[in-house]
Every structure is written in structure tokens, then in C-alpha cells.
Amino acid sequence: MNKLRCDAISIFPEYFAPLQLSLIGKAIENGLVDIKVHDLRDQATGVHKSVDDTPYGGGAGMVMSPEPWGSAIDQVLGEVDSPTHDLIILTPAGEKFSQKIAEELSQSHHMIFACGRYEGIDQRITDYYRLIPGVRVRELSIGDYVLNGGEVATLTILEAVIRLIPGVLGNPDSLVEESHSMDEDIVEYPNYTKPANWRGLEVPEVLLSGNHALIKRWRLEQAQERTRILGERTGE
């Protein structure tokens, strides 16, 4: 089994505590993934342990300095023996994360997450590591809204990627269906379970019919209708 190694670099390593929970926690316990979190502050050299500075050219906010990032990333690259490394730089200016990218990353042997804060990381971190053989650099965003840093984005991406690793999910059948619906840009049909009547609301009769062809058609229609309504709201 190819074990996935992940490293997250952040000034808030405590943000990653939830990785011990649930499915990802189990995947770690079962030896399917290995996740190490690093405190960027450990790489700060000055008396004030500063990791940011004012932007060249002026403007609001602070930019994360390249030196501590370079030290932290070099240390991880030196520590992890892998033919290739995916260096993921979290930024709202990055490529939009998607199921397709999750599938690509689930083939990775080693992912490094650089979690920026403030106005982001000095651009030369991206530019420098793009020049290093064996390192694939991706700037990723998780959506069109602004977060305070890349930590939550990293948790999101890790959850989406790790559940795709063979042996992580209890029932891998669901992966096939999910993947198809994502490819076709169609959302899921509505789901129901017992009781058949809850607070006066009935489960659609067709689902109790036992007629699998009819159920399949109804679910497709429902998925198409939901997709159409979503499209109306988002203008797609």
C-alpha cells in the first residue's frame, strides 16, 4: 500500500487537532497516511520571531517573509524521501480546488501545505520551488470568499483527498457514484430513511415501491431538477 505523507506548515499548528478525529484519525491509526504539522515560527530567526513584513510597493497589511518559509520547506523536503513532492500553497488567488484536483492529489506520495496568513506569502516561494526538480507547486483556493489563512483550506483539501485513498472509506462503492455525478456537474438526489412519516411529512411513495427501475428514474429526475434550480440561483 502506498502510504501518503502530508506536512502542514503554519503559525497555528493547533488548528490541525481535528485531523485526529473520525475518518482521517482512523486512516492515521491504520497507517494509511502520516501527517506532520510544523510551526513556521520555529524558523523565525530575529529576536521578535517575526515571520512577516510590510509589502514592497506599499499597501495594506503584511506579507509573510520568504526566509522562514524557505527554511521550513527545505527542512521538510530534506526529511521526506519521495521521488516527487506536491507543494500546495493556499491562497484565495489560487486555482479553485475541485473533486478533479482531489483525485489527482490522491495519487500523490507527499503533499506539503504552506498555510499563509496576512496578505499571503512572498511570491518568490512559489517561483523558487517551481524551479526545483521533483517539486510540483500548486496555488490553491477553496472558493470565492476570504479566509484569514490557509489552515481551514488545508483541512478541507486533506479531508477531500484522504477519503479517496484506497482502504480509507468503509464503502468504496459510493466513491464511484460521487465521482460520476461530479464529472457530469449534477448534484445528488434527496435521501430518506425511517420513519416513513416524520412530523406529518411522508417519504415519496416511489421509494417504498420496491420498483428499482422506477426509483432509478425518479432519482435521476430529482437530481436534474435540483441541479436546474441551483443553476437558476447561481446563474450557471
Stretch that binds ligand 6GU, among 32-40, 60-68, 142-150, 213-221 (CB under 6 A): 142-150
State the DSSP code for 121: B
Query: Is residue 141 a contact point for ligand 6GU (CB under 6 A)?
Result: yes
Give the cell for residue 219.
Answer: 432519482
The contact mask relative to ligand 6GU for 198-217 (x = CB under 6 A, - = no) is --------------------
State the DSSP code for 149: B
**With respect to ligand 6GU, which residue has the nearer C-beta, 32 or 91?**
91
Dihedral, CA of residue 214, residue 217, residue 221 and residue 223, to nearest 10:
110
Q: Burial, 111: exposed, middle or buried (Cβ in 10 Å; 0-12, 13-18, 19+)?
A: buried
Beta carbon of residue 70, minimum distance to ligand 6GU (angstroms, whole number): 20
**With respect to ligand 6GU, which residue has the nearer C-beta, 125 or 153?**
153
Beta carbon of residue 167, minimum distance to ligand 6GU (angstroms, whole number): 28
CA proximity to 189, closest of 217, 226, 233: 226
Where in 76-105 is the site for ligand 6GU (CB under 6 A)? 90-92
Who contacts 85 (Cβ-Cβ below 8 Å, separation ≥6)? 77, 109, 110, 111, 112, 134, 135, 136
Query: Is residue 147 a contact point for ligand 6GU (CB under 6 A)?
Result: yes
Query: Is residue 146 a contact point for ligand 6GU (CB under 6 A)?
Result: yes
Query: Is residue 108 a contact point for ligand 6GU (CB under 6 A)?
Result: no
**With respect to ligand 6GU, which residue has the nearer C-beta, 32 or 141?**
141
Q: Which of 153, 158, 162, 164 binds ligand 6GU (CB under 6 A)?
A: 153
Residue written as grid cell 481551514: 152
Stretch that binds ligand 6GU, among 27-35, 123-131, 138-146, 187-195 (CB under 6 A): 138-146
> What is the rounded CA–CA span in Å between residue 81 and residue 83?
7
CA proximity to 125, closest of 52, 49, 36, 50: 52
Residues near ligand 6GU, by CB under 6 A: 90-92, 141-143, 145-147, 149-150, 153
